[in-house]
Structure 1
Amino acid sequence: MRCLCNPKDQGTGIQPFLPPVPANADHSPIQKIFTAILLIVKPLTGAIKLILVGIVALGLAILQTLGIILSPLAPIHRVYHRLISAVFLRIILALLGFFWIKREVVTLRRGRSAGANKTQTANKKAAVSGELIVCNWSSYIDVLYLAFRYDPVFTQIYHESLTVRQVSLWEALLLSGSYPQLSPPEGVETLPIVEFVKSMHKKGAGPVVVFPEGTTTNNRAILKFVPIFKDCPVPETSIDITIMALKYDYHKFAPTFTVGLDHSYRLGHLFRTCAQFYNTLSIKSLAPEESPSHAHFSALDGLSSTPSGAAIGAIEAVEEDVLGGVIINLMGRVTRFRKLGLNVKDKADFLDYFILRNNGISTAKKTTAQRSSTSTSGSGRSKRH
């Protein structure tokens, strides 16, 4: 195991696995008094809202379970599931302080006006079955938003097999910040990403969401993608690809969630999120005609040098995964995030060290042994549906 006691990317100096620390600022006496009042009020509001979140989540789980009786009527079940997800998850997001979520369709081409962006935002159709939504991953809030907005099929990526499997909303929430599983456990059926999207399209299951980084970051940069697109051409016209970026703005507390190894971490972070009076999330989607699934898209467009100020840092192609290199470049230009040399394996190494520091040597050895066992069991050829 490579020690990542200081998980800093050597090229940029960014530490993507550590919670972001806000800059210190001098406060006036009045601001200090106001801060002291908030220290009393926030725990109370946080506790109340946390209880309400639990009640709403329980109600959603119950209604989803009852909806199973509609499974034989697939179209009706889909509408029912979409409706309750939209209503209940929007309430949860509001309780977490996300009262207004800004959405925008952006273009990277020169000469396009801001008015065109507004028109694209207004005219963009809802994501449909057969569409693949590719986005960065920083928190369980990402999962809640995507479930509210699209009611999609969530996936789990396996680095060793370069395949994915379907997971439920609740599983996707638990995967956020968890120890990354690099190989599928024995008996778990997985598929290459394009085959998976096509199979979901045949079932009319809605859009598919994939987090190609394979783990959560602190929303400061983009990890090296798991090369799940390595066998795909550019452009990949057999499916529709939407490149999406989720960004958080904050002052004192960041809603990003990089480490959640047990329920105490999750509950504590959820409580602090509820204690915030408001939180800010903005969503940017790349214009459909600039997607690498568009028939007239060229790999040179995705990998060309960026206009001045369009992106921060040099983002080059991934040799083993040309389409993945194109997507990460476009995502970097949309977010203005740097691309890092670190990947999901580095996150696993960092968590090994984190466990060692916080829970003792025996726990770290146990976790590492479990990961090695999982990798061994899943290192063979992945099973197909």
Structure 2
Amino acid sequence: MEKFSRWRDQGTGIQPFLPPVPANADHSPIEKTLTVILMIVKPITGVVKLALVSVVVLAFVLFQMAGLALSPLGFLYRLYSRLIMAIFARFILGLLGFFWIKHEVVTIRRGRSSSTSKNQISAKKSTSSGNLIVCNWSSYIDVLYLAFRYNPVFTQIYLQTLTVREVTFWEALRLSGSYPELSPPEGVETWPLLDFVKAMHSKGAGPVVVFPEGTTTNNRAILKFVPIFKSCSVPETSIDITVMALKYDYYKFAPTFTVGLNNSYRFGHLFRTCAQFYNSLTVKSLASEESPSNPNFSAMDGLSSTPSGAAIGVVEPVEEDALGSVIMNLMGRLTRFRKLGLTVQDKVDFLDYFILRNNGIGSMKKISTQKATSTSALSSSRSSRSKRQ
């Protein structure tokens, strides 16, 4: 859409914030007939599967509440929570059409094989309690998949403070596609990323997931990371880092979710996802021996031959956030996505314009109030930190 062309990356021509639109193509009479049939059948499928999803979610909540009785037992409670999360999250993914999710542990170095049993073992070690999973972010489906596979600690990152806070599984679902919060609300404790990961490790709370783009995209490119890795070194040997990438293949409807400003957007997208007979998701994890937490890792391994807005094969300069730049390049090589110069701040500006065009001036006043509140919270958090210092 030309009215949103100002948020098209100049180097690549990619617009990462709008839902992907399938290319127009001439169809045969058989394909046109099939399309008409699907237009009739899909709404029925969507209603049935959405009702089943609602029942499963309700059952999941009830099992979670029942499990609170085990909370004093520590390890047993975590084991119960992990089992319940794995069962119900996978069931919901199946209802949404993700019957088979391919997970590969791959190497990006030339001359080495991928998806070996050794790599699979390394991957399990690198996602143990308190270790860091760095992942791109395109949909609430990402959250469901990560919850099913790892039952991790989800985080929310803040651009203005370069800190993170822990969020629940339900909050992580809500944040997918939502208006990004650039600074933490007043009274909410946040941590530098490295300190937070180490704290979770000491508590045995499970692996930590961070979405360094800070917001969802349409899964066609990678936004410039929020520089939350500024205090980290390359390699960062004090923690274990798993670089992961999720990629959706689709024909008509993309499961990516870039605009989820209210419940009507969320419900509409969930209904269309349920109406799909089949959805496809491929997950790739970088082999642990090539992780930037490996003591033998070199920054040049992450910066060479990287698909981006610049020419492929050009070694790009290391930025102030050296580790973030390296991980962004590694993630780009896993997915073959282009790296963009657009950031979470651009997503905020995009949504401001989107709201203005779709809902009028009244909604912009609400956004202005949210920004003022965020600014006030930022000032309060800074003053409190200075007092502690």
CA displacement 1:302-331 (0-9 Å, x = unmatched): 123459xxx968673552200000100111
Tell me the TM-score normalized by structure 2: 0.93
Match of 1:244 in 2: 244
Question: How many angstroms apart in 1 are the aligned matches of 2:261 and 2:194?
Answer: 31
Match of 2:364 in 1: 364
Contact 1:160 1:375 in 2 (8 A): no
CA displacement 1:210-234 (0-9 Å, x = unmatched): 0000000000000000000001111
Match of 2:120 in 1: 121
Contact 1:229 1:323 in 2 (8 A): yes
Alignment of 1:94-133 (within 5 A): 94-114=94-114, 117=116, 119-121=118-120, 124-125=123-124, 127-133=127-133
Residue type of the alignment partner of 1:348: V
Question: How many angstroms apart in 2 are the aligned matches of 1:221 and 1:30?
Answer: 34
- Shift in Å at residue 62 of structure 1? 1.6
Contact 1:5 1:350 in 2 (8 A): no
Match of 1:138 in 2: 138
Residue type of the alignment partner of 1:80: Y
Distance 1:175 1:234, change over 3 A: same
Residue type of the alignment partner of 1:243: V
Residue type of the alignment partner of 2:333: R
> 2:31 matched to 1:34?
no
Question: How many angstroms apart in 1 are the aligned matches of 2:316 and 2:165?
Answer: 28
**Structure with greater helix percent:** 2
Distance 1:179 1:22, change over 3 A: same
Match of 1:12 in 2: 12
Q: Percent identity over the alignment? A: 71
> 2:76 matched to 1:81?
no
Runs of 4 or more off by more than 6 Å in structure 1? none
Residue type of the alignment partner of 2:328: I
User: Is 129-138 or 4-13 further displaced after alignment?
Assistant: 4-13
Question: How many angstroms apart in 2 are the aligned matches of 1:367 and 1:319?
Answer: 32
> 2:151 matched to 1:151?
yes
Distance 1:204 1:123, change over 3 A: closer
Distance 1:306 1:221, change over 3 A: closer
Match of 1:327 in 2: 327
- Shift in Å at residue 203 of structure 1? 0.8
Distance 1:214 1:306, change over 3 A: closer
Tell me the TM-score normalized by structure 1: 0.94
Contact 1:140 1:176 in 2 (8 A): yes
Match of 1:54 in 2: 54
RMSD of Structure 2 on Structure 1 (CA): 1.9
Distance 1:202 1:122, change over 3 A: closer
Contact 2:180 2:348 in 1 (8 A): yes
SS in 2 for 1:378: helix
Instruction: Report the count of equivalent residues.
Output: 378
> 2:216 matched to 1:216?
yes
Structure 1 gap segments, 5+ residues each: none
Contact 2:222 2:337 in 1 (8 A): yes
Contact 2:122 2:288 in 1 (8 A): no
Question: How many angstroms apart in 2 are the aligned matches of 1:334 and 1:98?
Answer: 21
- Shift in Å at residue 11 of structure 1? 1.2
Match of 1:166 in 2: 166
Question: How many angstroms apart in 2 are the aligned matches of 1:11 and 1:134?
Answer: 25
Contact 1:249 1:281 in 2 (8 A): yes
Contact 1:184 1:375 in 2 (8 A): no
Contact 2:140 2:176 in 1 (8 A): yes
- Shift in Å at residue 369 of structure 1? 2.6
SS in 1 for 2:56: helix
